[in-house]
Amino acid sequence: MPWDDLEVATTTVRCEPSGREVVVVHSTSLVEAVHQVGLPLGQSCDGAVVCGFCRVRVVEGWVNLSPPAAQEVGLLRMLHARPEERLAC
């Protein structure tokens, strides 16, 4: 198969207030995207969805995110997160 025929679903992630952007494939976590643009984002559980340090506010583009798993929903509830907040891991 020629490389020209290869299609990969991508999306652009913009980090505010810096305005830095990166184009990532759909399977990329938000924490990976933030690190790709060179910004720090706390994370102590290595993506195990137990610490909540990677909590971010999603301004737009909800349709590009996978639905939160039960573990994320529970942790966000425990953290009293706002509806527009998600865990970047």
Share of the chain above pLDDT 70, in %: 96
Q: What is the tens place of the pLDDT at every residue in 47-72?
A: 888 899 999 999 988 887 889 999 99
Widest distance between CA atoms in the chain:
49
Tokens in use for 85?
A: 């907040």
- Global pTM value: 0.81
Per-residue DSSP letters for 17-61? Answer: TTTEEEEEETT--HHHHHHHTT-----SSTTSS-S-TTEEE--S-
- Checking if the pLDDT of 34 tops 60, the result is yes
What is the pLDDT, as a whole number, of residue 3?
Answer: 67
Contact 43, 53 (CB under 8 A): yes
Residue 69 confidence (pLDDT): 93
Work out the end-to-end distance of the chain between its first and last CA atoms, rounded to an integer number of angstroms.
34
pLDDT of residue 15: 94
Q: How far apart are CA 30 and CA 44, in angstroms?
A: 15
Q: Which residue has the higher pLDDT, 7 or 13?
A: 13
What the block records as the tokens of 35 is: 């690190």
